[in-house]
Chains A and B, each alone.
Chain A
Amino acid sequence: MTQSPVHVVDQQTDLWAEHRDRVYRYLLRLTGEADTAEDLTQETFLQAFRDLHRSAAAAANTSAWLMRLATNRAMDMYRRRRLIRWLPFLPDRHGGTAEDTAEALARRDLVAAALRRLTPEAAAILLLRDAEGFTGPEIAAMLDLEHAAVRKRLSRAREAFRTEYLRLKGDAP
């Protein structure tokens, strides 16, 4: 089935409008760098526009498919850089400030610092599962892993986060 160019552009516009914030937020938390997250978001969508009609995964679960592209772009970047740099996470300036009490701010710093101490893969799995709410099988498909391997990495990532957070908080286990 062929699609008219106008129709394709409409679909791309919808995809962009609906998903760009979520992809950007995920990449922002994963990389901790606003500029990098912006660049990776653009790369993710450029690839998504190319593959939109070729990928069965795109139609089956669009968010999961986009997160897969985003995660791959981020991991590619880390491989390119070779040296993994974890710069400070930026606190949100707009929105989501419902909890902007001093204690929430202090705690957010600890959470960002604890995430920075994980490997990018571990941070990605934690964010995809515990922040973005994707299921184990969805994450397995995104990361080209068996579901059992996702479980193993998820349990290790939760343990690593727990250890790092308690250590930073001063309650070393």
Chain B
Amino acid sequence: MSPPGPSPRVALFVTCLVDLIRPQVGFAALRTLEAARCTVVVPSGQTCCGQPALNSGARDEAVAIAKRTIALLEGHDAVVVPSGSCAATIRVHYPELFEHDAAWRPRAQAIAAKTYEIMAYLDEVRGWRPDTALAATATYHDSCSGLRELGVKAQPRRLLRGVEGLMLKPLKGEETCCGFGGTFCVKYPAISNAIATEKADAIEASGADLLLSGDLGCLMNMAGKLHRDGSSVRAFHAIEVIAGMGDGPAIGEDA
């Protein structure tokens, strides 16, 4: 079920972590967008949205990357990103970067206005529901950027409820940061570990088989902690389950 009318031409921006660590998230995004009757383009010059530079205070570097990224992505009907933090970088922070730049501000605002986190796009813009099944219990962690900067909260849950046989179990402290924070987790590893330990305990206590979330960085952090501690909880990016790929290898299970 998708809205009638011409197929939007959507640029898929897979993000650097998906590209490097877990391509199946990118393919899940591709397949769901096509199922939602989008014409998907993967601009070949894509690299990174610049978030590491932005969050490190390296403004000039962030601006340079942003300009490249804007030029690469404009000219499509929408830009869709399987990551709340990367989508927020484009949607919320690019316009801030160019606030005082008369030439680039309108271009940044234009791209921001049509950039979406993928589950929000599929649910709210396309009105699409998955048509797949997975017999499992899962618990969902709300990644902070998607939640607080983009309002991604109900959309993933609506989509996941469309996966037949999947039972969602509540996660205590589902909105509490997992301790990833991009470069934070490697700059302040002891503090990050303490935060991640509490998050892993809560995930275990949920009793779910699977951990799902919308940001690969958060998932790598939580899954990495769970696995180190001997947990049997398996982690996927939520879009993989929504795309019917939840029966594949979970994070860390690739050969």
Are A and B subunits of one complex? no
Interface residues of chain A, those whose CB is within 8 Å of chain B, are none
Interface residues of chain B, those whose CB is within 8 Å of chain A, are none
